[in-house]
């Protein structure tokens, strides 16, 4: 790939239903991405190779989804200096084990950690785009427009609520 892209790594194919929301957002904003199933524990060499290859190809950020011990984001962060975003997956203990495994990194090996599950997957896509937007004005403007659209939606919902309440008096 010659254009900046986001690399999405998942510890298992069972993570895909959660990560589809991340993929959908990147598609919506036309941000190129690669997706790979790879494990920090079961395929460490393949994980390392994929990260190194993505580094050389211009990857802007890595998004890593994993449940349980959730060491994938940490393994990626140990291999690259690019931003790494961890998405804890609810595979056991309501995802708390994955959250703690993702967020508790030693000093010098940062992993930006988002919420457990689909909300986290969506925010991981937005955070990756915000990283890209520091040097890409098209993405920056698209994110501004998205925020404005979201604000208008809330304003409209409030207006409908106020009208409904006023009509009940």
Domain spans in the chain, listed from the N-terminal domain onward: 5-135, 136-169
Sheet of 5-10, strand order = 33-37, 5-10, 59-67, 84-89, 112-113
pLDDT at 2: 47
DSSP 8-state code for residue 82: S
DSSP 8-state code for residue 87: E
For 30, the enclosing helix (H) or strand (E) is none
DSSP 8-state code for residue 15: G
In the chain, which residues have pLDDT < 70?
1-2
pLDDT at 151: 97
pLDDT (tens digit per residue) in 125-142: 999 999 999 999 999 999
Largest CA distance in the chain: 68
pLDDT at 88: 97
CA atoms within 13 A on the CB side of 104: 8
Q: Give 5-135's CATH code, choosing from 3.40.50.1970, 3.60.15.10, 3.40.50.300, 1.20.1070.10.
A: 3.40.50.1970
pTM of the model: 0.93
pLDDT at 161: 97
Q: Which two tokens stand for residue 120?
A: 């986290």
pLDDT at 168: 87
pLDDT (tens digit per residue) in 103-127: 999 999 999 999 999 999 999 999 9
């Amino acid at each position: 790939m010659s254009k900046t892209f986001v690399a999405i790594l998942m510890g298992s194919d069972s993570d895909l239903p959660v990560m589809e929301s991340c993929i959908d957002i990147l598609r919506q904003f036309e941000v190129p991405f690669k997706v790979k199933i790879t494990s920090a524990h079961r395929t460490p060499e393949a994980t390392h190779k994929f990260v190194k290859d993505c580094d050389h190809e211009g990857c802007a950020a890595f998004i890593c989804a994993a449940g349980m011990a959730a060491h994938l984001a940490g393994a990626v962060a140990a291999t690259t200096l690019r931003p790494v975003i961890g998405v804890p997956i609810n595979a056991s203990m309501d995802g708390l084990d994955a959250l703690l495994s993702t967020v508790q990194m030693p000093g010098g090996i940062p992993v930006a950690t988002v919420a457990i599950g689909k909300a986290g997957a969506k925010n991981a896509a937005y955070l990756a785009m915000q990283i890209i937007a520091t040097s890409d004005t098209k993405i920056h403007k698209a994110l501004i427009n998205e925020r404005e659209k979201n604000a208008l939606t809330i304003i409209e919902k409030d207006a409908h609520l106020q009208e409904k309440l006023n009509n009940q008096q």
